[in-house]
Amino acid sequence: MTDLAIAESAEPVLIETERTPAAWPLARRLLFRFLCCYFILYGLPEPGRISVISGIPGAALVFQPYTWLWHSICPWVAIHIFHLSGKPTTYFPTGSGDTTLAYIENLLYIVFALIGALAWSLVDYKRPDYRRLHSWLRLFVRYTLALTLLGYGFAKVFPLQFQPPSFEKLTEPYGEFSPMGVLWNFMGASLPYVIFSGAAEVLGGLLLLFRRTTSLGAMIAFGVLLNVAALNFCYDVPVKLYSANLLLMSLFLLAPDLRRLASVLLLNRATAPADLTAPRFERLWLRRSATAFWVLFVGYTLFIAILEGWAGYKQYYVDAPRPPLYGLFDVESFARNGQEVPPLITEATRWRRVAVTWPQFLRIRMMDDSTIGYGASYDTNKNTVTLNQKDVLAWSRPDSTHVLLQGTLSNDTVVIRLNKVDPSKFLLVSRGFHWINEMPLNR
């Protein structure tokens, strides 16, 4: 056989060589080191934030010293570095995530992350990339973001975060609303929209739980959180820091796909599949244990979120506690010490309207449009209500639409006749939904 024949009959042999992944540029390595330190610091348990670690039974107790350490460092920095004093340097319940100490804590996260990244760079400057650590960090960030979206999402799917405007809000002049109050009542005025916005958050959170749908979940999360952050900043809602950090997390998860998305959506080009490399245990029993843990952890988290949401829905909507004087009332007559007080705006101490929504308090609008809130406790056996634990008023119902209050108020004897207002007279409550509108109704 000739050499030519041998060459023609021989099958081609492909020699595969393992390609060495390209090293990361220096800027990318530096940025990753910083973000890794920062996200770990931000993702550890802290009151007011949802953490993956807090979802593990017993973890909150283990991390109590860590929380105590931060709550000792931040006031010290506020006092000795920024020379602050008073309430801004102390921890107390505020309902705000944008307190002075919250900003100082976030600043310290950045400072410590910069220091950590610098030290890391000095001792590990030869490492060409952090692909494996990056996959672990993505896992930590996407579960932190997923649990947060599920927590806030289910609080809207079961509309607890935003509720319909109360009686006092229905009668409050629009100009007296704070920007945050406008947002809260705008959302609460349409429960279907609240549920829709919550469903979008839940969808993003669910997609982030799975490796193959992380990119789609990150895109949905970024869109949702960009809107949430914009609302917080534009309506002065004190969750600006938190929403901005969550938005940063979604961008971090989306970053590896930005070039691919630009190729498909902007340049109309084909692109390579996403890198679905994930942390993987070598031993089979570890992989099975990790899968079992994932199923239990995710299942437990979803079960608790749905259970608590349904319990809250029943408490506030199905079985909501109603005080004996529940309703909105106009004050028809107001007598003090036997003398009728005329309904004039100059009579600043005369009641004009009474709103009773919750059993614990009631709110009074005076003739000069100022408002006073009273703590309330009811005795249904005696048909009395005690205001601020000192003034006792007895109530009776002459008919189905009137209530008569008699007793003492600020050391005066008063007789107050109330006329119940039908809430459906308010356009915000009665307008409802219409498929067909011949003319817009915009008041």
DSSP, res 270: -
Residue 333: C-alpha distances to residues 106, 370, 402 (Å): 55, 18, 11
Q: pTM above 0.85?
A: yes
- Sequence-distant (≥ 6) Cβ neighbours of residue 11 within 8 angstroms: none
Residue 301: C-alpha distances to residues 148, 156, 179, 201, 214 (Å): 11, 17, 33, 15, 18
250 neighbors 222 (Cβ within 8 angstroms) = yes
Residue 226: C-alpha distances to residues 15, 243, 246 (Å): 49, 8, 9
Residue for token pair 């002075």 = 100
Residue 223, SS3 per DSSP: helix
Residue 298: C-alpha distances to residues 58, 205, 289 (Å): 17, 11, 14
Degrees to nearest 5, angle at CA 210 with 208 and 216: 50
Q: How far apart are CA 97 and CA 331, in angstroms?
A: 40
pLDDT at 9: 42
149 neighbors 201 (Cβ within 8 angstroms) = yes
Strands (E), 196-322: none
**Which residue numbers in the chain have pLDDT < 50?**
1-18
pLDDT at 19: 60
Residue 418, SS3 per DSSP: strand
Phi, psi of 328 (to 5 degrees): -115, 130
93 neighbors 81 (Cβ within 8 angstroms) = no
DSSP, res 425: G
Backbone angle region of 48, left / alpha / beta, with phi > 0 → left and psi within -120 to 50 → alpha:
left
